[in-house]
Amino acid sequence: PPGPQGLPLIGNLLQVPTRLAFLKFAEWSKVYGPLTSYTTLGQRVVVISSAKAAGDILDRLSAKTSDRPCFIKTEHLTHNMDFATVNQGAFWRTQRRAAHESLNVHAAKSFFPVQEEESCMLVEGLVRHPEIDIARHLYRYVSSIAWRVIYGHSTIKLEVDEPGVPPDSFFRAFFQATIPGGSIVDIFPFLHPVISRSKFLRRVTSGHLAYMYPGRAMNGTLAPVPSSSMHILLRRCVVFLRRTGPFIAYSSHDPIRWRGCRPSARSSRKRTATALKWFFIAMLLHPQAAVTARSQLDLVVGKRFPTFGDIEHLSYVQAIVKETLRWRPPGPAGLAHVATEDIVYDKFLIPKGTILIPNVWSICRDPALYQDGDTFDPSRFLDDRGNLKPSPADSHDDYLVFGHGRRVCVGKNLAVNMLLIAVAQLLWAFDF
């Protein structure tokens, strides 16, 4: 595919920013089209910027495009414990299937009571403690749901230091490390042995591990507190893994609860909280959207709290959630895939080993799907009668932010439900 001219040896390394790379990719797509090719130190990278190209390459050719690149820094940051970023293999396939058994559309409904209760607590916390930073309220909400569902612990209180508040430094480092050339050890691999022996790096990554696995002792495991939601989740994982093999669930130091069922909920926490922050910004910038949603809530719900039973009748609330994720997608550069075979697409050769970047920012602004993509407009998802329109092809039900092919986020249903109930109750409770 076409792309910008690079320099000898280093290619386009100096042209790809380490921050906000998705904006540079979007700029290139306006010049070179839906596929933009560049190189960094001989590594070929193809950026995908349209929904159709992403659907053709990452969905319909997923058997050839579902591997992950080997980014050294991400392995250090995650201790190679997150199956969302590990390479394909028997372990990845089995763990993903186990997580899907626990978090599919049907299974996610079993967590409705926890999500409704936590959403009510979010509203109450905002009313009672307006002096506390709104980000803390949102992190408490998403972290407490994961804390209860995965570990079976009681709700996280707003007034105490919760284990689930994610360090922004971790996510900045993580997403930067997933951009080809974004880490010095990927640029100069010979530094890997030196850096891996660094006491400073081990101390920093141990801190990150403490966040990813809250409550886990480094020389042992956390004993979860029994709860119905945790039992449901673990039972589904255990039943599936017993069918597929008794030992696949275990790594050298972690049983199933650390490997099979946790990663999807953990990785969605930061993005879900970020999406809720953008929801608040969108409502403040576009108060008429909040007024329209409030009118529908008054008609459907009245004076009681909204519940999941109301969501199907709240089309405008659903449209606001979809538009928030489209307008300001969390993780706008997406997570990279790797082609495991040569691919010919639209007369272009994509060689084996090419890194494929689905630029979510551009895909969510694809004019073939969404006209005037920079404008926040929930009504784009509604017909003349106010009902949700059928989703267009390759739009993933208008939830493109959750990835493609075999790498679609397994926590998608949990995250979408978290957003729907929170947005419904926030719009019901507050004027914007």
Measure the CA–CA gap between 335 and 20, rounded to whole angstroms. Answer: 14
- Name residue 67's beta-bridge partners: 338
Neighbours of 307 (CB within 10 A): 16
Q: Which helix (H) or strand (E) holds 144?
A: helix 134-151
Measure the CA–CA gap between 329 and 419, rounded to whole angstroms. Answer: 13
Residue whose C-alpha is closest to residue 268's, from 140, 151, 146, 121: 146
| Residue owning tokens 């538009």 | 323
| Residue owning tokens 């998802």 | 381
Q: Which helix (H) or strand (E) holds 321?
A: helix 315-327
Q: What are phi and psi of 355, to 5 degrees?
A: -80, 130
Q: Do the annotations mark residue 364 as ligand-binding?
A: no
Write out 397-416 in H/E/C secondary structure: CCCHHHCCHHHCCCCHHHHH
Evaluated on CA atoms 246, 78, 203, 273, the torsion sign reads: negative
Q: What are phi and psi of 46, to 5 degrees?
A: -120, 125
Q: What are phi and psi of 351, to 5 degrees?
A: -70, 155
Neighbours of 55 (CB within 10 A): 20
Residue whose C-alpha is closest to residue 234's, from 256, 254, 267, 251: 256
Q: Which helix (H) or strand (E) holds 214?
A: none
Measure the CA–CA gap between 237 and 310, rounded to whole angstroms. Answer: 30
Binding site members: 409
Binding site members for heme: 409
